[in-house]
């Protein structure tokens, strides 16, 4: 029996024993046993954080603990060509956004302050590094990836834009999701490289913030006429920009 691997079971490097096996308990073991319905002898999709992925044979499922023997013979999928500058959303929304970003293969994310971002958000447990990592791991499991995105938090908009933005984002193409009088993304010719996309809070970037980003080379674009909540806007926008960038690449 080979149950369908609806998710990737991620292992930490330290969980691999010298004999090549790994032991799981808690949420991941429950997922293997209850969601996948796997039993001893079955194979599931597994990977190591920061490393390769492949199939893992279940050696034991006794006592709610799962013992795996992974055979990691595949590289993770290629990263998305889109990086993201995102105004910090509400903590509940942030958790969903982090999972979506990791699942889509975005590898660089800056969470930035904005005039419309509540200052209390920065005291939220959702912005603690361990909490961010936990949500990213859930996203990697969904997207069958092993490489964690690099996430940084920039509380103050102006110092970041003036002093650190250029060193943070190497992509030459910079896009500003600021649809006020902006042309549709598809009206521009796509570049050959990657892009960084700036997405504001649900109230949008202020005129000052949009102006400073434009001074840094961000091109205002519209992705359509419908206003979306941040947790819907981010995956929609990243997907649109990635498709736009692909148009400049030769077909495989």
In this predicted structure, what is the pLDDT of residue 31?
A: 87
Task: Express each pLDDT in 113-145 by its tens digit.
Answer: 999 999 999 999 999 999 999 999 999 999 999
Segment among 4-18, 65-79, 147-161 with least mean pLDDT = 4-18
Short-list 148, 119, 132, 126, CA closest to 47 = 148
Task: Express each pLDDT in 7-57 by its tens digit.
Answer: 899 999 999 999 999 999 998 999 899 888 888 999 999 999 999 999 999
pTM over 0.85: yes
Range(s) of the domain holding residue 22: 9-74
Within this chain, do residues 58 and 142 fall inside the same structural domain, yes or no? no
Within this chain, do residues 130 and 180 fall inside the same structural domain, yes or no? yes
Within this chain, do residues 22 and 62 fall inside the same structural domain, yes or no? yes
Spatial neighbors of 28 by CB under 8 A, at least 6 apart, are 9, 10, 66
Q: Is residue 4 part of a domain?
A: no
Q: Is residue 207 part of a domain?
A: yes
Backbone angles phi, psi at 212, to 5 degrees: -65, -35
Q: What is the DSSP letter of 196?
A: E
CB-based contact 196:169 (threshold 8 Å): yes
Within this chain, do residues 29 and 101 fall inside the same structural domain, yes or no? no
């Amino acid at each position: 029996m080979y149950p369908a691997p609806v998710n990737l079971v991620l292992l930490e490097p330290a969980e691999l024993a010298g004999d090549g096996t790994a032991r799981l308990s808690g949420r991941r073991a429950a997922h293997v046993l209850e969601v996948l319905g796997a039993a001893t002898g079955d194979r599931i999709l597994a990977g190591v954080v920061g490393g390769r992925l492949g199939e893992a044979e279940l050696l034991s499922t006794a006592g709610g603990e799962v013992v795996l023997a992974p055979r990691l013979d595949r590289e993770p999928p290629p990263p998305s060509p889109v990086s993201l500058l995102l105004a910090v959303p509400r903590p509940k929304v942030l958790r969903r956004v982090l999972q979506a970003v990791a699942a889509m293969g975005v590898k660089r994310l800056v969470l930035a302050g904005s005039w419309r971002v509540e200052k209390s958000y920065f005291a939220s447990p959702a912005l603690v590094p361990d909490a961010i990592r936990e949500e990213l791991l859930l996203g990697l499991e969904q997207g069958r990836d092993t490489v964690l995105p690099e996430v940084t938090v920039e509380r103050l908009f102006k110092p970041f834009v003036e002093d650190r933005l250029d060193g943070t984002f190497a992509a030459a193409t910079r896009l500003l999701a600021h649809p006020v009088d902006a042309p549709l993304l598809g009206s521009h010719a796509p570049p050959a490289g990657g892009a960084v996309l700036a997405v504001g809070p649900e109230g949008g970037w202020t005129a000052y913030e949009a102006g400073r980003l434009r001074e840094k080379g961000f091109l205002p674009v519209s992705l359509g006429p419908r206003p979306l909540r941040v947790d819907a806007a981010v995956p929609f926008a990243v997907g649109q920009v990635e498709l736009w960038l692909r148009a400049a690449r030769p077909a495989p």
